[in-house]
Amino acid sequence: MGNRIVNHWFSAVVLAAWLGLNIFLFVYFFMIFEKGKKYAYTRVLLGSALAWARGSAACLNFNCLLILLPVCRNLLSFLRGACSCCRRSMRKPLDNNISFHKLLGYTIALMTAVHTIAHLFNIEWFCDAVHKPNNSLIGVLSSIGAQDDDWVNPVRSKEQTPPYLAFTTIAGVTGVVITLALIIMITSSTEFIRRCYFEVFWYTHHLFIIFFAGLLIHGVGRIVRGQTEDSVNEHDFTLCSSDYGSWQPKPDDHDDDDDDNVKCFIPAFEGNEPMTWKWILAPIILYIFERIVRFYRSIQRVVVIKAVSHPSKVLEIQMQKRGFRMEVGQYIFINCPEISTLEWHPFTLTSAPEEDFFSVHIRSAGDWTDKLIQNFQDRADNPPRLEVDGPFGTASEDVFQYEVSMLVGAGIGVTPFASILKSIWYKFQNADQRLKTKKIHFYWICRETGAFAWFADLLRSLEQEMISSGKDGFLNYRLFLTNWDSSIAGHAIINFDVAIDTVTGLRQKTSYGRPLWENEFSAVAEAHPRSTVGVFLCGPQALGKTLQQCCHQFSSMDPRKVQFYFNKENF
């Protein structure tokens, strides 16, 4: 529990503040429409449904203000750099930007459901109101403003039906469009769709443009109405609501009326000023600026200097771009116009900042990656043109801020650690004394032997460099093969006494099966009893939950002893 508090206290504060503001906004606007004098007669027509609609609308405005910010990658990279001098717990929320984006999306979906259901009741009751007897209060309210703009009931005829009101008013039409766009975006953002049909997710998610356009004009029709300020002052609801039969038109100059008796003039109503644009205009402008920056960087020329096909359908692309600067563990977005002009896909950089090029390793994982790999294989002498946006920061940038680091990669998830290990290799060659890290434990989990091939050369170079520099204990790596059969196991047993591993050609022998993480964490905690250990993962969510649980389990309650801090790649 102590480590949870130390590691996540600022994230918890941010979430608590966000939740508290949501509750405050809902309650505040709910009470305005539920108890306010201005909406007393509106409540006669609609009851509490209007308050539910307006309370949820306030939360919608607030969350729509926030939802674009976690996907402003340049903004996050700037904040990550600006917060580099802060404690790691202060930077933690930046690593969870996608999770917060999803949370905001689900909250918007919930508030949209509440808002829509409440307004469906309102529409039904508006239509029912015009059918009430003319000598009833509801009937009298529905007849007010037949010629002027001071009406309270937007249904002006008994022939108008709820569908007519929903599909002929600005609020109704934009509400339908907004809701449909939101449903499509939410349903196409599921894990299954993103993994198996990324293009569907990519294209449908751009319906956010229609969503925000609809929000900007949703309230222009001013259907939600209350009494004008003058009417509230001159027409007391408590005194006049029960005597609606004696309501009188307000004279042009009633101040000269010498009758001291209280008179109930017919109440006048006005529509509420649209508020949504005030909430979302600033983040929209910020996001537009973000996209302009991305576009400018994407049109800069990218030179492909080398492309290498590795086993397990992995393509390595080495590139150069003027002014490109990177840090370890960062990622870029790549677009290939010959495949699609709109699709941009994220890939972690596998090169080191010390190299004069930047590289990515792309594994076949869908239609887009299959086409890209095939194009490079078919056109080795004339590779397709690529556009690059980035680089952008991730949690892995902090790896050198820890005395001890545990790096865990699953399959192609090893890519950010390739950049880190390469950078370490260069630092040792250049005798960099600024390296704070004293020990790295590296774990790579793969399903098939071919996946080890493209990364083995780097590990072999690191082995040799560590030995020659007298720091062969700096890097402790473990390779795990999870998909193996009896022939592979038998071959490993026969060659057990051989110094070099038969699978990878490395000094470190390959383990068969999955790591026993409790044993691994226990060994690291015992070897580094007074250290701060950074645990970095690039892999599946299930593995992340296991590692995070181990971080909490093996961290000491005493802050002077071993502490594990969990970090996961999210993009």
CA distance 108 to 62: 9
Phi/psi at 97 (5° precision): -65, -40
pLDDT of residue 85: 53
Q: In which band, very low, low, confident or very high, does the pLDDT at 433 lie, cut at 50, 70 and 90?
A: low
- pTM, two decimal places: 0.80
What Cα–Cα distance (Å) separates residue 212 from each residue in 75, 397, 480? Answer: 20, 34, 47
Same domain, 334 and 441: no
Is residue 180 assigned to a domain? no
H/E element holding 441? strand 439-446
Any domain includes 331:
yes
Quick check: 310 and 316 in contact, CB under 8 A? yes
Residue 165 inside a domain? The answer is yes
Residue 316: CATH number of its domain: 2.40.30.10
Distance between CA atoms of residues 457 and 476, nearest Å:
16
Closest to 245 measured CA to CA, from 135, 131, 132, 153: 135
Cis status of the peptide bond prior to 391, with omega within 30 of 0: yes
Other Cβ atoms less than 10 A from the Cβ of 268: the count is 21
**Which secondary-structure segment (H or E) carries 391?**
strand 387-392
Q: What is the pLDDT of residue 414?
A: 76
Can you tell me the mean pLDDT for 338-363?
Answer: 88
Percentage of the chain modeled with pLDDT above 90: 26
Domain extent, residue 306, equals 302-392
365 and 432 fall within a common domain: no
Residue 5 binned pLDDT confidence (cut-offs 50, 70, 90) = low
Per residue in 10-19, pLDDT tens? 788 889 999 9
Query: pLDDT-based confidence at 449, cuts 50/70/90?
Result: low
Neighbours of 433 (CB within 10 A): 6
Amino acid, res. 7: N
Buried b (16+ CB within 10 A) or exposed e, 493-530: eeeeeeeebebbebebbbbeeebebeebbeebbeebee
Mean pLDDT over each residue of the chain, to the nearest integer: 83
Q: Say if 184 falls within a structural domain.
A: no
Per-residue pLDDT, 542? 86
Asked if 387 and 426 sit in the same domain, the reply is no
Structure tokens at 406: 């545990």
User: Average of pLDDT values for 458-466?
Assistant: 70
If asked whether residues 351 and 232 sit together in one domain, one would say: no
Quick one: which of 223, 227, 222, 224 has its CA closest to 37? 227
pLDDT of 406 above 70: yes
Residue 446 and residue 327 in one domain: no
Q: Is the pLDDT of residue 274 over 70?
A: yes
The count of structural domains within the chain is 3
Q: Are residues 46 and 104 in the same domain?
A: yes
Q: Which residue has the higher pLDDT, 245 or 518?
A: 518
Is pLDDT larger for residue 419 or for residue 185?
A: 185
Does 418 or 48 have the greater pLDDT score? 48
> Lowest-pLDDT range, 115-119, 211-215, 360-364?
360-364
Please say if the pLDDT value at position 380 is more than 70: yes
Tell me what pLDDT residue 97 has: 85
Tell me if 292 is assigned to some domain. Answer: no
User: Which of 121-130, 273-282, 414-423, 447-456 is the least confident region?
Assistant: 447-456
Q: What is the pLDDT of residue 2?
A: 46
> Which amino acid, residue 154?
P
Please state which of the ranges 14-28, 127-141, 464-478 shows the lowest mean pLDDT. Answer: 464-478
Q: Does 11 share its domain with 154?
A: yes
Q: Does residue 181 lie within any of the structural domains? A: no
Question: In a 3-state reduction of DSSP, which class is residue 151?
Answer: coil
- At residue 458, the pLDDT reads 67
d(CA 311, CA 418): 17
414 and 442 inside one domain? yes
Condensed to tens digits (0 to 9), the pLDDT of residues 37-57 reads 999 989 999 999 999 999 999
Residue 173: the pLDDT is 92
pLDDT band at 259 (very low <50, low <70, confident <90, very high): low
One domain for residues 264 and 312: no
Interval 165-204: pLDDT, tens? 888 889 899 999 999 999 999 999 888 888 788 788 888 9
Q: Mind listing the pLDDT tens digit for each residue in 120-172? A: 999 999 998 888 888 888 888 888 875 567 788 888 888 888 888 888 889 89
Helix or strand or coil: residue 562?
coil
At residue 35, the pLDDT reads: 92
Mean pLDDT of 441-451: 77
pLDDT of residue 348: 87
393: pLDDT confidence band, cut at 50, 70 and 90?
confident
- The answer on pLDDT for 221 being more than 70 is yes
| Pair type for strands 532-538 and 404-410 | parallel
Identify the pLDDT of residue 289: 93
Q: Which band of pLDDT confidence, cut at 50, 70 and 90, is reported for residue 515?
A: confident
Question: Does one domain contain both 237 and 385?
Answer: no
CATH of residue 426's domain is 3.40.50.80
Predicted local confidence at residue 219, as pLDDT: 86
Domain assignment present for residue 193? The answer is no
In a domain, 164, yes or no: yes
- Looking at the fold, whether 406 and 378 belong to one and the same domain comes out as no
pLDDT at 148: 64
Q: Are residues 387 and 400 in the same domain?
A: no
Q: How high is the pLDDT of residue 252?
A: 66
Residue 104 has which token pair?
A: 């905001």
Residue 239: partners with Cβ closer than 8 Å, 6 or more residues away: 262, 264
DSSP secondary structure code for residue 497 in this structure: T
DSSP state of 122: H
Lowest mean pLDDT among 35-44, 304-313, 469-478: 469-478
